[in-house]
Structure 1
Amino acid sequence: MEIRDATRSDADAIRSIARDSLDSTYTSFLEAETIDNAIEQWYGDSLTDELSDDRALFLVVERNGEIVGFSQSELVGQQSKTGRLLWLHVHPNHRGDATGVRLLVRTREELLEMGADQIRCFVLADNEGGNEFYRSHGFEQAGQREVEIGDETFTENVYVECDLEDDGEWGAIDEVEADGETIYVSYGEAARGTRSPFYTAYKSPDRRDQYAWFCGACDSVDNAMDAMGRIECNRCGNRRKATRWDASYL
């Protein structure tokens, strides 16, 4: 799995993912015409310009060279900045395999790096699955707002982070199958890599026994750490540099 910044050439794929996601999730409470209006409103001709906006963040997920999901966010405010995750869409065929939570984690990381002091997520109130997704990954409802789709007005729930640890780490943890083993990945405990972060993996959800480092670039725990804290993934070559001074380089 690769998560990267979207480019203008990804516009058609983003539009297609949004269509498939809305058709599979929202038809129980949105009319087909309303979904058509939503696609045109958010992912129409203006999409390519939005992809070039410095305050907008579009991330796409690729699996085997195919785009299977994306997130759409923005940074608002002057002195105190808020990262707003507006939409997170995953193709129906790729749900339930940690694609969504990995995209959520990376989007949060990118917004914080852009200068966000707070992360807010938005999901239509009638989307039960979407609301449960944010609640189960460290967010709590903080309010509501109205959003217009075509000529209709709908209610969106607003979520903010709720389970930050005492040291400021994000507590989201997810059960993942990696290299034939079940592990529990703590997305709040990350180490920056050259291609993607490494996340701490545990043998159980209580996070008592650290098992390995989970490579965010290729979903593998096949890696090694040396005495200086360098990590290298044996599968894809993702690397983390030394965490303290290495006297051998004097």
Structure 2
Amino acid sequence: MEIREPKPDEAERIREVVDSSMTSSFRLSPQQIDGITDGQFADEAIAEKIDDENTLLHLVETGEGIEGTAIAGFVEGRLEDEWGEVNWLFVDPEHRGKGIGTELYETATEALRDGGADHVCVTVLEANTEGHQFVERFGLEHDGDRRIEVAGESLVKYVYTDSDIDVELPTESRADESGDEKMAKDESDAEDAEVDEFPETETTDGHLTATSDDGKTVYIARDGEKSGTAAPFFITYEDEGHEEQYGYYCANCGSLDVSMDNMERLECSACGNSHAERSKESYDDSHL
């Protein structure tokens, strides 16, 4: 097993690892997976990252491929001021259980610190059902959320840090943006777009409220947020004092028609926005 930096002409092989890893372990649609691979790991994107002195890339190559060597894993890190961020880490399903994920993680964090990072964080897509337990093995704790745009959809990334760190987290990473998104952002940094985070709501006596299909007024708890694939969900109550829970409100479309199954998965019947609690039972310590 060899850990090294990738070459520009290896983008297609990297995409194959990314695609197989996400298909196996990520709770994403094929369109969302295509959006990530096309935006983050296209030939041009890989070449740009290789040329970017603030982006650190490493891959694992083994001699176990059908035609000789095979790329078994890939990790991407980025330096953002005093922070180093492990932004993506993938291990091909056929090569899991060999410690490749751990080797990539340790290589990336060491390279980030050698590059000048005072602190290191790790970001994991909410939909990565196995990645959360993987990073928690290293003593990291969920310390915030970040939203990224993928193929026109908003996805949530969890930010993990060492529990002893008491400094402000980086709010976003340029590594999460495709080339087109970076260009668009550069062109519009001075413009503040106002987003309606609570569609189909009113303010009633200082309380944020919504009206159900049968005309009932429900009260939305802004501090009762659960992340969603498109926008957050918020707990709703039948009373101003937030004592009798009514259900959930979808901030993507404003609907109260949100169902929860016995695994505590939320889904909006109106727009398909969804949320799933992470299950530690789904992770095997030897998986990566």
Regarding TM over 0.5, the answer is yes
Checking the alignment, whether the CA contact within 8 Å between 1:71 and 1:87 is kept in structure 2 is yes
Distance between the aligned counterparts of 1:163 and 1:100, measured in 2?
24
Distance between the aligned counterparts of 1:66 and 1:105, measured in 2?
21
Distance between the aligned counterparts of 2:132 and 2:164, measured in 1?
16
Please give the secondary structure, in 1, of the residue aligned with 2:106. Answer: helix
1:14-36, Cα deviation, whole Å (9 max, x unpaired): 1111111111112xx31111111
- What's the CA shift for 1:101? 0.6
Q: 1:128 to 1:22 in 2, by over 3 A?
A: closer
Count matched residues.
159
Checking the alignment, whether the CA contact within 8 Å between 1:142 and 1:160 is kept in structure 2 is yes
Match of 2:79 among 66, 75, 80: 75
Please give the secondary structure, in 2, of the residue aligned with 1:38. Answer: helix
Checking the alignment, whether the CA contact within 8 Å between 1:72 and 1:85 is kept in structure 2 is yes
Match of 1:33 among 27, 31, 34: 31
Distance between the aligned counterparts of 2:17 and 2:75, measured in 1?
11
- What's the CA shift for 1:163? 7.7
- What's the CA shift for 1:155? 1.2
Equivalent residue letter for 2:154: T
Distance between the aligned counterparts of 1:163 and 1:69, measured in 2?
29
Equivalent residue letter for 1:43: F
Q: Which has the larger radius of gyration?
A: 2
Equivalent residue letter for 1:10: E
Equivalent residue letter for 1:50: K
- What's the CA shift for 1:46? 2.4
Checking the alignment, whether the CA contact within 8 Å between 1:8 and 1:52 is kept in structure 2 is no
Please give the secondary structure, in 2, of the residue aligned with 1:47. Answer: helix
User: After TM superposition, which residue ranges in structure 1, 4 or more long, deviate above 3 angstroms?
Assistant: none
- What's the CA shift for 1:108? 0.6
Instruction: Tell me, yes or no, if structure 1 residue 52 matches structure 2 residue 56.
Output: no
Please give the secondary structure, in 1, of the residue aligned with 2:130. Answer: helix
Equivalences for residues 109-148 of structure 1 within 5 A: 109-148=110-149
Among all aligned residue pairs of Structure 1 and Structure 2, give the percentage whose two residues are the same amino acid. Answer: 31
Distance between the aligned counterparts of 2:34 and 2:16, measured in 1?
12
Equivalences for residues 98-117 of structure 1 within 5 A: 98-117=99-118
Equivalent residue letter for 2:70: E
- What's the CA shift for 1:127? 2.1
- What's the CA shift for 1:2? 1.2
Distance between the aligned counterparts of 2:127 and 2:36, measured in 1?
16
Bigger relative contact order, structure 1 or 2 (CA pairs below 8 A, ≥6 apart):
2
Structure 1 equivalent of residue 95 of structure 2: 94
Checking the alignment, whether the CA contact within 8 Å between 1:24 and 1:92 is kept in structure 2 is yes
TM-score, normalised to structure 1's length?
0.61
Which consecutive unaligned segments of at least 5 residues does structure 1 have? Answer: 165-250
Checking the alignment, whether the CA contact within 8 Å between 1:56 and 1:72 is kept in structure 2 is yes
Checking the alignment, whether the CA contact within 8 Å between 2:25 and 2:129 is kept in structure 1 is no
Equivalences for residues 87-236 of structure 1 within 5 A: 87-162=88-163
1:54-75, Cα deviation, whole Å (9 max, x unpaired): 1111100111132110101110
- What's the CA shift for 1:138? 2.3
Distance between the aligned counterparts of 2:25 and 2:62, measured in 1?
22
Which consecutive unaligned segments of at least 5 residues does structure 2 have? Answer: 64-68, 166-288
